[in-house]
Amino acid sequence: MEYILPDLNLLKVEKNVSSDGKSGQFVIEPLSPGYGVTVGNSIRRILLSSLEGAAVKSVKIKGVEHEFSPIKGLKEDAVDLILNLKTARFALNGDGPATISLSVKGPKKITCADFKKNSDLEPIDPDHYLATIDKGSQLEIDVEVDKGRGYLPVEKRTDSNAPVGTIMVDSIYTPVKKVKYEVENTRVGSVTNYDKLVFDITTDGSISASQALNTATKIMAEHLSVIIDATAVGDVEAKPKSAKKKATKKAKADESHEDILEG
């Protein structure tokens, strides 16, 4: 049976995005049989590993030298507080890094809304819980945020030897919280085994689901374009063969000329 690629003019993308843009479903069809898994798996990996995002890089807590130090008047210990800070998501304007601070007195339930206003940096979810502080106690924190891709453990940071009082943390930069894809059959004319690719994407709100899919697809296309350019067959590759033929013809002509002279 002859394998026929579908007309790309028939290819369409339908999307259903939430009002805040953080989540969306994207339906791509028709794709050639098998292309659903090929395209879906490639874009999923890029979405989870290669998109730029902002994450907490280091934390300074007044009166705390390391993550195992006790914090007076706080319900959480330092480990739990740092974990809550690590999972907070931020929108970072510019290349960064940037620092955001908070200073609160108890009793109080502390959230990201308690960070001081900062033109370079702002929490995406102001209601994100950080800690609970008792009456008469005070908490002061400086949080440094930078940009990156994927996941970066403390051990792989080039600046991991921070001053005393600065606690370096693992950073999860990817702005995509969840992504899954499914491949279903779809019809093109009388043929029913073409692929329908369905993406479900949820982000942290620093970018929209549509932006995430768009960026991931561009990253894949840019990589493929390098291969296309490097393997293109054109005049540059044809010239050596042409030159070789000319050289052969010239050699034969010279031989014939010599034969005539010798004769």
- CA–CA distance, 168 with 190 (Å, rounded to integer): 60
Let me know if residue 210 belongs to a domain.
yes
pLDDT at res. 7: 72
Query: How do residues 27-43 score in pLDDT, each as one tens digit?
Result: 999 999 999 999 999 99
Residues 109, 59 share a domain: yes
Phi, psi torsion values for 103, nearest 5 degrees = -145, 110
Q: What is the pLDDT of residues 126-179, one digit of tens each?
A: 999 999 999 999 999 999 999 999 999 988 887 656 777 899 999 999 999 999
Winning range, highest mean pLDDT, from 60-69, 170-179, 246-255? 170-179
Q: Please report, to the nearest 10 degrees, the dihedral formed by the alpha carbons of residues 19, 21, 23, 26 taken in order.
A: 100
Of 124, 154, 172, the position where a domain reaches its end is 172
Check whether residue 165 and residue 60 sit in a common domain. yes
Residue at 35 is within a domain: yes
Computed from CA positions of residues 79, 80, 84, 85, in that sequence, does the dihedral angle turn out positive or negative? negative
Residue at 254 is within a domain: no
The last residue of one of the domains, among 122, 147, 172, is 172
204 lies in which domain range?
8-50+177-230
- Residue 14: which CATH number? 3.30.1360.10
Residues 69 and 159 in one domain: yes
Q: Are residues 19 and 40 in the same domain?
A: yes
Query: 44 with 62, same domain?
Result: no
Mean per-residue pLDDT, 119-125: 94
Are both 60 and 110 inside the same structural domain? yes
Q: pTM to 2 decimals?
A: 0.79
| Shared domain check, 85 and 147 | yes
Which of 134, 157, 172 is the C-terminal boundary of a domain?
172
Residue 80 sits in the same domain as residue 34: no
Domain presence at residue 129: yes
| Statement to judge: residues 95 and 128 lie in one domain | yes
Tell me, letter by letter, the H, E, C secondary structure of 136-160.
CCEEEEEEEEEEEECEECHHHCCCC
Distance of CA 112 to the CA centre of its chain: 24
Share of the chain above pLDDT 70, in %: 85
Domain-located, residue 3: no
Whether 120 and 132 map to the same domain: the answer is: yes
252 assigned to some structural domain: no
Report whether pLDDT(263) > 50. no
Query: How does the average pLDDT of the chain come out, rounded?
Result: 88
Query: The CATH number of the domain where 115 resides is what?
Result: 2.170.120.12
Could you tell me if residue 242 is inside a domain?
A: no
User: Maximum distance among all alpha carbons in the chain?
Assistant: 118
Q: How many domains does the chain have?
A: 2
Pair 58, 134 in one domain: yes
The sign of the torsion formed by the CA atoms of 196, 197, 200, 201 equals: negative
Confidence of residue 70 (pLDDT cuts 50, 70, 90): confident
Q: Is residue 94 part of a domain?
A: yes
One domain for residues 57 and 168: yes
Percent of the chain with pLDDT over 90: 71
